[in-house]
Chains A and B, each alone.
Chain A
């Protein structure tokens, strides 16, 4: 009965929201309401039937508390996640239906266009599929199937090494931020920040990932561009300098982690601290203080990526036409203004390219560096999303929860890719040839 009510409610809400949005965009209210109702219906059915309407079941409920503006709210995390899931899927349905409708209207009367590419081999109907088969099979079996399996495993109680699983609703997801005990997860909202008060480990892990990516991108790009500016000038031995600076890119994360471990580790008798002592400075707890440990990971990772950034930026700077610089110089722009108003816009496609590569690297490829430099410590201070997935899934053997975390990580990829396409599409193409 409550399942029926849930579906009707989703449909009605969809009709209201989409109807209102389309009306404001100057399209028909009735069409919008119909679209919203269908999307809400499909969205709730597509998510809740596989989940067996378990989010309505009190047995699966989990809670966290938020303290905001003096008051305290208790939130049911499973219900919240269920509602968010329905909204996202229904939204996707609405967009897809709308798109399809336009598509059909535009295409009505036209035949599917035949592919008349010149130079194709005629009379081989089967060969392309044989050529493609290994790649397609490989991607289906080792990329798409595990990705889909994640969505299944995320809703299961699954242990490493055990083939059998049992349905667990959205508890694996909810347990990342909530608990069955009402007071275990307690968040304080103040000045626009969420401070975790108790037992909110996953939020801290997520924060570590964000911290690493932001600072690795800043350090590796500011230094990379500065060095490239120096090395791209037409000076004697420029290519020698370039070669002497780009090679750390080829070094593995493991070696980076181990080498920085001997540079920064070893407590007061470690290399860096002995050097600091020569200058009369106090020893720094590089790997044992949470913030210094995070900074150490950033330093190691930025050092690893710096060479690549320098290489790309040198190529970018050499592609800036000299006539533009000349014109700016004639107009009286000094070096700094020329850099800001000519160089930066001209190389902006490369900047975005490098920034997104660095972002991807710092979100997904830091495992080897962290594992060999800090092992995620002290006390999870340098544990990021990937390290935590391995912790939970391999070391604690909780495959279900690790799969749920993998899906969160996948959402990060989707978000990054979306932003990348928007930014690349809008701002950057004019500089690319």
Chain B
């Protein structure tokens, strides 16, 4: 059977040619298809950027060149305090990310570099929380945070419930477990305590894992919508995702789309920038969560 198929292959172009064709398929139609895909993917945000320079009349006229209302729209979103919203979002997302990274490093350290009873049970207890998405608990969490803890309308309510991260603990545990134990043995021989070992050895060795977690968590924190929508009603404390729909100029009947789209574009710049610049680390983070 194999002999038969092999004989048939002789009639085909030599293997070298075939492989070269496979590897450097630089055909024009692939580029055309890829450009179609790029345009298809980019069009919605491109159009949003276009509308952010227009007024409603230009937008409904389907004007496909930039309009003359950019400065008006910019003034409107500035009047609606987009700077405040952006700052709030940045502060909240940074606090969440920082909290998650620090707590996860400590937990991962405890799970790898210490011996204590019921360790695997503790790890299982942390991992099991992955099974409970925030949407499942949101009603009871809202009751707990707003009614029992009285944290309504505070950043505490936005940050504190989010800082314990099973994903982060898992990521760091796996990473620390892949580091050779000889390092910590050497550190102990040199008289270093756990904290010293953590700061001097583990953190420098974990730069990639930390970056991966920061990218994932910062984008997640920046984009969160439902929880702030429920728990924060004070516009001075609100985040950009909830604040976007308030960026109307409030004069025209119905929504003025220009300022809202300008806000949407501005709100999308930080997460896109981070994601595009750090895509390698982001992928590594996912590779880490996948490997056993």
A interface residues, how many (CB within 8 angstroms):
103
CA distance A254 to B266 in the complex (A): 13
- If over half of A's interface residues share one DSSP class (helix, strand or loop), that class is named, otherwise mixed; here it is helix
How many Å from the CB of B52 to the closest CB on chain A? 11
- Given A251-B272, A274-B62, also A258-B22 (CB < 8 A): no
Shortest beta-carbon distance from B195 to chain A in Å: 9
Which residues of B does A touch, CB under 8 Å? 2, 5-6, 8-9, 12, 15, 18-19, 22-26, 30-31, 33-34, 37-38, 41-42, 44-45, 47-48, 51, 59-60, 62, 103-104, 106-107, 109-116, 119, 122, 125-126, 129, 131-144, 147, 160-166, 169, 180-185, 188, 193-194, 197, 219, 222-223, 225-226, 230, 241-242, 244-245, 257, 260-261, 264, 267-268, 271-272, 274-276, 279, 283, 286-287, 290-291
Residue of A nearest to B46 (CB): A259
Q: Given A120-B113, A131-B106, do A142 and B226 touch, yes or no (CB 8 Å)?
A: no
- B183, chain A: closest CB distance, angstroms: 7
Identity of the chain A residue whose Cβ is nearest the Cβ of B114 in the assembled complex:
A128
Partner of B147, one of A163, A248, A332, A386: A163
Partner of A330, one of B6, B241, B279: B6
Looking at A135, A145, A260, A329, the one whose CB has the most chain B CB atoms below 10 A away is: A135
B45 neighbours in A (Cβ, 8 Å): 248, 251, 255, 259
On whether the beta carbons of B51 and A249 are closer than 8 Å, the reply is: no
Q: Are B107 and A409 in contact (CB under 8 A)?
A: no
Partner among A135, A259, A360, A372 whose Cβ is within 8 Å of the Cβ of B103: A135
- Say whether B107 contacts A132, CB under 8 Å: yes
B9, B131, B141, B225: the one contacting A254 at CB < 8 Å is B225
A280 close to chain B: CB less than 8 A: no
Write the chain B residue with the least CB distance to A278. Answer: B62
Partner-contacting stretch, out of A63-71, A232-240, A282-290: A232-240
Set of chain A residues within 8 Å of B290, measured between Cβ atoms: 349, 353, 432
- Report chain A residues within 8 Å CB of B279: 243, 246, 311
Whether A259 and B48, one on each chain, are in contact in the complex, defined by CB atoms closer than 8 angstroms, is yes
How far in angstroms is the closest Cβ of chain A from B276? 5
A206 interface residue (CB < 8 Å to B): no
Question: Is the beta-carbon distance between A121 and B137 smaller than 8 angstroms?
Answer: no
Distance in Å from the Cβ of B133 to the closest Cβ of chain A?
5
Complex-state Cα separation, A353 to B12, whole angstroms: 38
Quick one: which of B2, B6, B129, B244 contacts A139, CB cutoff 8 A? B129
30 contacts between A and B (CB under 8 A): A119-B184, A120-B112, A132-B110, A132-B111, A134-B163, A139-B129, A142-B137, A143-B129, A145-B140, A146-B143, A149-B144, A150-B137, A235-B25, A246-B275, A252-B271, A255-B244, A258-B48, A262-B47, A262-B59, A262-B257, A274-B62, A325-B22, A326-B15, A329-B18, A329-B22, A330-B9, A331-B6, A371-B225, A389-B135, A410-B136
Which residues of chain A come closer than 8 Å to B112, judged between CB atoms?
A: 117, 120
Given A143-B164, A263-B47, verify A129-B116 contact (CB < 8 Å): yes
Residues on B with C-beta less than 8 A from A254 are 223, 225, 241-242, 244, 264, 267
CA–CA, A130 to B209, complex, Å?
Answer: 23
A40: Cβ under 8 A from any B Cβ: no
A269 proximity list for chain B (CB < 8 A) = 60
Across the two chains, which residue of chain B brings its CB closest to A116?
A: B115
The interface residues of chain B lying within 8 Å CB-to-CB of A368 are 223, 225-226, 241
A116 to B33, CA, bound (A): 57
Given A135-B106, A250-B274, CB of A150 within 8 Å of CB of B164: no
Q: Is residue A124 contacting chain B, with contact meaning CB distance below 8 A?
A: yes
Give chain A interface residues in 104-134, CB to chain B under 8 Å.
Answer: 115, 117-122, 124-125, 127-129, 131-132, 134
Partner of B166, one of A139, A250, A360, A393: A139
Question: For residue B230, which residues in chain A have a CB less than 8 angstroms away from its CB?
Answer: 390, 394
Contact residues of A between 214 and 231, Cβ < 8 Å to B: 227, 230-231
Chain A residues within an 8 Å CB radius of B5: 330-332
Give Cα A141 to B219, complex, Å. Answer: 24
* A135-182 interface (Cβ within 8 A of B): 135-139, 141-147, 149-150, 153, 160-161, 163
The answer, yes or no, to whether A339 is at the interface (CB within 8 Å) is no
Q: Are A367 and B135 in contact (CB under 8 A)?
A: yes
B residues in contact with A360, CB < 8 Å: 133
A residues near B, CB below 8 A? 115, 117-122, 124-125, 127-129, 131-132, 134-139, 141-147, 149-150, 153, 160-161, 163, 227, 230-231, 233-236, 241, 243-256, 258-260, 262-263, 266, 269, 271, 274-275, 303, 306-307, 311-312, 315, 322, 325-326, 329-332, 349, 353, 360, 364-365, 367-368, 371-372, 386, 389-390, 393-394, 399, 402-403, 406, 409-410, 413-414, 417, 432-433
Q: List B contacts of A329 (CB < 8 A).
A: 15, 18-19, 22
Q: Which residues of B contact A312 (CB under 8 A)?
A: 283, 286
A229 to B106, CA, bound (A): 41
Identity of the chain B residue whose Cβ is nearest the Cβ of A300 in the assembled complex: B44
Q: Check B139–A119 contact: CB distance below 8 A.
A: no
A250 CB contact (under 8 Å) in B135, B226, B275:
B275
| Whole-angstrom distance between the Cβ of B192 and the nearest chain A Cβ | 9
Point out the residue from A135, A227, A235 that lies within 8 Å of B169, measured CB to CB.
A135
User: B259 CB to closest chain A CB, in angstroms?
Assistant: 12
Task: Please measure, in the bound complex, the distance between the C-alpha atom of A311 and the C-alpha atom of B34, giving whole angstroms.
Answer: 14
Provide the residues of chain B in CB contact with A124, threshold 8 Å. Answer: 114, 194
- Which of B18, B276, B287 gathers the greatest number of chain A CB atoms within 10 Å? B276
Expressed in whole angstroms, the minimum distance between the Cβ of A253 and any Cβ of chain B is: 6
Partner of A410, one of B132, B245, B264: B132
Residues in A with CB closer than 8 Å to B147 are 161, 163
- Cβ contact within 8 Å between B41 and A245: yes
For residue B38, which residues in chain A have a CB less than 8 angstroms away from its CB?
241, 244-245
By beta carbon, the residue of chain A nearest B104 is A135
Measured CB to CB, the nearest residue on chain A to B186 is: A119
A398 to B, closest residue via Cβ? B139
Candidates B47, B144, B185, B241; contact of A146 at CB < 8 Å: B144
Query: Are the CB atoms of B31 and A252 closer together than 8 Å?
Result: no
Pair B275/A121 contact, Cβ less than 8 Å = no
Asked if residues B137 and A252 are in contact (CB atoms below 8 Å), the reply is no
Q: Tell me which residues across on chain A come within 8 A of B226, comparing CB atoms.
A: 367-368, 386, 390
